Every structure is written in structure tokens, then in C-alpha cells.
Amino acid sequence: MSDTAKLEYQGRIYELPIVEGTEGEKAIDISELRNQSGLITLDPGYVNTGSCTSAITFVDGENGILRYRGIPVEELAEHATFKETAYLLINGRLPNRSELTRFSVLLNDHSLVHEDMREFFSNFPRASHPMGILSSMVNTLRSFYPELQTMEEEINITVTRLLSKVRTLAAMSYKISRGHRVVYPRPDLAYCANFLNMMFDSPVRPYEIDQDVVHALRLFWVLHADHEQNCSTSAVRLVGSARVNLYAAISSGIAALWGPLHGGANQAVIEMLEEIEEKGGDVKPFVKRAKDRNDPFRLMGFGHRIYKAYDPRARIMKKICDTLLEKLHIRDPLLEIAKDLEQTVLEDDWFVEHRLYPNVDFYSGIVLRAIGIPTNMFTVMFAIGRLPGWIAQWKESLDDPNWKLGRPRQIYIGPSLTKFVPLEER
């Protein structure tokens, strides 16, 4: 098999190298195409364009495969803590016991946020979305915690600051939005349990930590820790290519994740279920509308841009979703509608033929609601989970010897040369 692809244009043939990944994926390297031929490629949405090589996450959408650093996400979901998963993504391998202990100590030591930052929360308009606030607050961290002296310090300390403080900031924003006393992190609690305690503990009703709820949150964060070159990760890499500080790069990722077609999808699932409830709770008319090509309505939480087989994360979230709902004995009409909708879609040949299976957003929205997370905080929860992946991708880009400032080209379709018309002649 040839290791080059040939492009013929105006009588000339250009040979373009073929790049092959460790899992057999192949790409045509067009990095010299413009220099050689004057041509660029046009690929709206970058559907067929690879922006980088990466050793972090492998996704095979046709076969429903997701691996972090080569390890199947199913094994991490079963065996790894969120801290181990974060360490794996950022450092390229699972930690040994002493490394994990040091990592845990650093996360604990940097879990508090500067008290002056509380003033920022009180000055945001009451209608502000938590994602807008989180993006701003993460960017603000740079002012409170300037760059350190060495790159090793910068990576180790800044990374653990972000992983720990973003969790604290998220819980703090929720408490302040409700007018409640802020709950500080506890050194005796692990990462996931600490977050739940900061969210829900109060002087009048101490929060009782349920290990099944902690397990559900751990799974949610592990499954969302990275997902290759998605919209928000690409934003982190693109902004990071300008060599901005890590806080600014992560802030851009949070802003991208905010979109309803990306991280906001799990919130959109709940909003769809609320709409179904408002109109009587019968899912069949909505399923019928979703199959109508002339109707813009879409079922949120079904199908995926990458996965043409069943989303491997959805299988895991479905299992914990069923377990959690049964254990907590929750009587929630939205959750009943969700189960009815899931069953109806899975039994419908049209959805099966079009490979529109329930995705991770469908089940994660239900799980977060069962845990007690407010709907407008869903995307914030996604951001906390995706943080290790963003950091790992930023760090990999920083270390890339072939680094280039991100600067896409375009095909101009506006007016050709046009003479300026003086004001009095217009």
C-alpha cells in the first residue's frame, strides 16, 4: 500500500504523506499543500480534519470504543477513582501509591479559594448563568495566583489548584446563589464526597454522605474526563496555542462547553422532559415529531456526532441510573417520563435503523437530577469532570515540538475590489 496520497491539479501531481496512528487510523498530511500548490482544504465544522496528533484519548465511534491513555473507560469506571483518572490523563500513566498520596495532599492543600473572591459572586447579576460565572472566576484565578518560577511548579501547582479550586468555586456559587452559608472543603473527605458535602451540607440539616451517590458522581466525572478533540477541548488547544496562561485556556473551554449542542445537552434533556410533562406526559407525540424530517424538533439525549454504535459511556450511566433510582425511591414525574421515553425509543425500529440510541447526556441528566443537582448546574458538573482532559490536552500541546499558533484559513466569498464612495455621493 502506498504511503502517500496523490492530488492532481492543473496537470501537476502532488504527493501527500499518509500518517497512521497506533490504532490504524489514517490521515492525509496536508501541512505542505498550500506551499506546494497554492490550495487549501475546506471542511466546515472540521468533520474530516485532524488538528493534531495526540496520545491522550482514543475514540472509535463506529465500534463504540473510548480509552484514556489506552485503558478502556469501562475499566476505569469500575476500578479507578476520579483522582487516579485525572492523574492518568495529565501525566500519561496511573499513579503509584506514593504519587497518588502526594497528588491527594496537593489537592487538599489548594482546595480553598481566596476570601476576596467571594465579593465577585455577590456582584454578578442574579440571573447570571453558573457557566458564565465559572468561566469568569477561573479567568480571575490568574490574578490571585500568578505564574510560578519554574515550569515544573507551574504544571504541578497550577494543575492541582484548578482541579481543586474549580470544585470549590462551583459549590460556593451554588451556596451563595441560594443565600446560604458557604461550606468549606474537609480534609477527611475524598474528592467526590467533598464536593457533595460542600453543595448540600447546612447547619440545620447536616449532609449524610451516601456511598451510592458518591459512586454515581465518581462515574459521571470519570466518564466525562476527556473525549478527544471535541468543541471545548479544541477551544482550549486553540486559545492555548497563543501561549496564554492555563487559567485563560480553561476559561475558554468552559465558555465553549456552555453551548446546548455540547456540554449543555444534559440540561437540555431535562428541559425537554419538562416540556413533555407540561403537555400531559405522553412521549409518543414527541417521538413522532422527532421522526418527521419537516419538523425541527429533536429528542435531546439521543444519537451522537461521533458514536454510530452505542455510546460506551451511556451503558455505564444507564446501569448506575437504574441502581440509583431504585435505591433512593425517588418519585419524580420527569424521571418516570424519561424511563418511558427510553423504552419507547429503544423499541422503535426507526431509531434503531438510524442508530439514535440514548447517549451519555440522557442518562447523566437523570442521574444529576436524582442526586439533587439543580438543572442550571448540570453543565458546571460536566466542566468539573472535563477539567483533567482540558489540562492534559493543553499540556500536550505545550510540549508538542511541532507546535504552531492556531490560525485556520478561509475561502473568501465577499465582494471583489470595490471603490470607496464618498459620503456626499452615497
Q: Supply the Cα-derived Rg of the chain in whole angstroms.
A: 24
Question: Taking Cα atoms as reference points, which of 104, 105, 83, 106 lies closest to residue 94?
Answer: 83
Q: How far apart are CA 360 and CA 27, in angstroms?
A: 28
Q: Assess contact for 112 and 168: CB atoms under 8 A.
A: yes
User: Which string of b and e fits 362-387 if b means at least 16 CB within 10 Å?
Assistant: bbbbbbbbbbebbbbbbbbbbbbbbb
Dmax (CA) for the chain in angstroms is 80
CA angle 121, 124, 125 (to 5 degrees): 140
Q: Assess contact for 225 and 67: CB atoms under 8 A.
A: no
Question: Taking Cα atoms as reference points, which of 249, 276, 419 lies closest to residue 345?
Answer: 276
Q: How far apart are CA 235 and CA 212, in angstroms?
A: 34
Q: Assess contact for 121 and 145: CB atoms under 8 A.
A: no
- According to DSSP, residue 70 is labeled T
Q: How far apart are CA 83 and CA 100, in angstroms?
A: 8
| Helix locations, 110-263, DSSP H | 118-123, 130-144, 151-177, 191-200, 211-223, 231-240, 246-257
φ, ψ of residue 297 in degrees (nearest 5): -65, 140
361 in active site: yes
Q: How far apart are CA 41 and CA 69, in angstroms?
A: 30
C-alpha cell at 162: 484548578
Q: How far apart are CA 375 and CA 264, in angstroms?
A: 10
Q: Which amino acid is at 419?
A: K
Q: How far apart are CA 102 and CA 174, in angstroms?
A: 29
- According to DSSP, residue 392 is labeled H
Q: Is 28 helix (H, G, I), strand (E, B) or coil?
A: strand
Q: Is 358 helix (H, G, I), strand (E, B) or coil?
A: strand
Question: Taking Cα atoms as reference points, which of 383, 321, 359 lies closest to residue 195?
Answer: 383
Q: How far apart are CA 217 and CA 193, in angstroms?
A: 9
In the chain, the N- to C-terminal Cα span, in Å, equals 63
- Looking at 201, 227, 304, 311, which residue is catalytic? 304
| Catalytic sites, residue numbers | 304, 361
